Amino acid sequence: MCILLGIRRSGGSGELWVAANRDEGLDRPWRPPQLLVPEPPVFGGRDLIGGGSWLAVNLHAGFVVGVTNARPGAPPAQRSRGRLVVDLAAEHTLADAVALLSELEFSRYGEFNLLLADARDSWLATNAPTARIESGEKDVVAVGNEPLAGQGERVAVAAERARFLAGLPEGELERSLQELLADHEGADPLCRHGDGYGTVCSTILTLRAGTVARYLFAPGAPCTTPFAPVRVPAAPVN
C-alpha cells in the first residue's frame, strides 16, 4: 500500500481512523478483506503471491497493522512484508506485536514502512535505510513509500489534510476521507493510475472502544469504485 493515514481522536475510550490506498501491479492477484487468522481473529485483505496482507486488524485486541513498500518489489530471497503484517497482527496485544517487532531481523525483509496502532498508541517502524522503531507521538500519522526520515511532499500534504479533517463529525469525516483517497491533485496524486500499476483498492476503518465500529472497502481505484461496508466477524468475548 502506498498511502496510509492514521487519525487518533479523543472521547470515551478513544477512536482510531485508518484510511489507506494500496498501489500495486494491476495484474497482481489479491482478495478483499476476509478472516486471515482464526485465533486471535485477524481480518484484512490477502495478497495471493506473498500470502500476507497490506492492512490487517486484530479483532480481539483492537489494533491495526499496515505496511507500505519503501521501494518497489522485493527480491525472492527476502521475507514477505505482507506476511510480517499478518504475523504482527496475530499477536495478542499491541504491546506484544511491538515486542515481536523489536526481536525481528529487519534485513530479512524488503524495504518497508510499518504502522501499528490502536485508539491510544501508535508505533512506526522501518528498515529503510536502517532498522528503526519509534513511538508515534502525533494524533495524525501519514506513511508513504519514502523512508520515514524523508517523507516527500505527497505524504506531507496528505498528513496536513488529514489533520484538518480530524475534528469533523463522524459522517463528514468519512465522506472527506473518501474524497481524499480519490484525490488526483498534483504531479503524484494519492489515487494513482499508471501503465500496469496504480491504486487497486482502498480502505477506511474505524476502531472505537477496542472494536471495529465501521469498515469500508473499495475494490478498485476509489475515484471510480464506490466504498461499501464490509461485514466484519464479531470478536469472541472472553
CATH of the domain at 122: 3.60.60.10
Per the structure, the complete domain to which residue 120 belongs is given by: 3-229
Number of domains in the chain: 1
For residues 120, 23, 73, 116, the Cα torsion angle rounded to the nearest 10 degrees is 0
Residue 14 inside a domain? The answer is: yes
Residue 220 inside a domain? The answer is: yes
CA–chain centroid gap for 226, Å, is 19
pLDDT per residue rounded down to tens, the chain (238 residues): 589 999 999 866 789 999 999 999 999 999 999 999 999 999 999 999 988 999 999 999 999 999 998 865 555 547 889 999 999 999 999 999 999 999 999 988 888 999 999 999 999 999 988 999 999 888 999 999 888 888 889 999 999 999 999 999 999 999 999 999 999 998 889 999 999 999 999 999 999 988 999 999 999 999 999 999 999 998 766 5
Residue 150 inside a domain? The answer is: yes
DSSP state, residue 79: B
Give me 184's grid cell: 488526483
Name the helix (H) or strand (E) containing 33. Answer: strand 30-37
Q: Which of 58, 56, 84 is nearest to 70 (CA)?
A: 84
**Pairing relation of β-strands 42-47 and 228-229?**
unpaired
Q: How far apart are CA 119 and CA 53, in angstroms?
A: 21
Residue 221 inside a domain? The answer is: yes
pTM of the model: 0.95
